[in-house]
A = this chain, B = another copy of it.
Amino acid sequence: MDFDTITKTDLDLLEVYLRGSISAGSPLYRDVIDAMNYSLLSGGKRVRALFCMEVCRALGGKVEAALPFAAAVEMVHAYSLIHDDLPCMDDDDLRRGKPSNHKVFGEANALLAGDGLLTHAFYTLATADTGVRQGLLAVKLLAEAAGCHGMIGGQVIDLGWENRDTPAEVLEQMHRLKTGALIAVAAQLGAVAAGHTGDEELEILGDFARMVGLAFQIVDDILDATGDEQKLGKPIGSDAQQGKTTFITLYGLERSQEAVRQLTSDAIEKLYQVVAPESGKYLASLCWRLTDREN
């Protein structure tokens, strides 16, 4: 199968799984279920799910075994976006070109929909048909990645340095936690779903995904500075307008572009420490496509 066919097959499997994952429950609290599904089923690149499913396959597992884990990571991602968009956080009215969750369902329902998705992610791990040892390890890894020393910590750093010059090491730590932790755990859960639970292997896979994640963030900064508004689907130059510290303001365009290439090729080298190049072809292509993109 070629790259696009694999991607489409995986994403179709995932969408069917996600659509069936939250039962309707009582009409008395229908609002929050609708709000949860609104964000969970609103698409996006599903990068985390693809990493999870394809690491599983590359390590000899079935992608279907990774589905509940991939879905759980996407639930955590969706929750984090809902809470990020709330007025007390980034106060964003739009998300992927559609009204953000609280614009449609109100702040209270959006807050609770985020809480509900986070909780449902752990329910999904706990009821996955993966074996109890792997299930509990998945809970631990996801809770660590999404928790106060992971994604939430990164969010706090981001808020704390708004409108201030951010030192390079703080910016990197922020990205490492805010987005890197969840991408890393996506890859790790793919391995766990394939029955690979050794610390060293999981650490290498985490490093691999974190590097790609960081490269992805730098590309975001580059596109905001130099992208094509039509292809990007949103106005460019917003970072500069807000006086935000980015990789571009810290290192300039050329060094940032070089860093993207270096990080991506280092990441793939990492991957090949635990995955045979033949089995890792899709993941390597995915890395290059994520970092050589126009939107």
Contact = CB atoms under 8 A, between A and B. Distances in A.
Interface of A: 22-23, 25-26, 28-29, 31-33, 36, 79, 83, 86-89, 107-109, 111-112, 114-116, 118-120, 122-123, 125-127, 132-133, 135-137, 139-140, 142-144, 146-149, 152-157, 159-160, 170, 173-174, 177
Contacts of A136: 126, 132, 135-136, 139
Main secondary structure of the interface of A (DSSP, over half): helix
Contacts of A108: 88-89, 159
Contacts of A148: 22, 25, 29, 32-33, 36, 112, 116, 119-120
Given A119-B143, A139-B139, 8 more contacts: A26-B173, A29-B152, A32-B152, A36-B148, A116-B148, A123-B143, A126-B139, A126-B143
Nearest to A120: B147
A120 B150 CA distance: 11
Contacts of A156: 28-29, 31-32, 109, 112
A169 to B, nearest CB: 10
> Closest 7 CB pairs between A and B?
A123-B143, A88-B107, A126-B140, A29-B153, A116-B148, A29-B156, A126-B139
Contacts of A36: 148
Contacts of A87: 88
B133 A119 contact: no
B140 A127 contact: yes
A146 B127 CA distance: 15
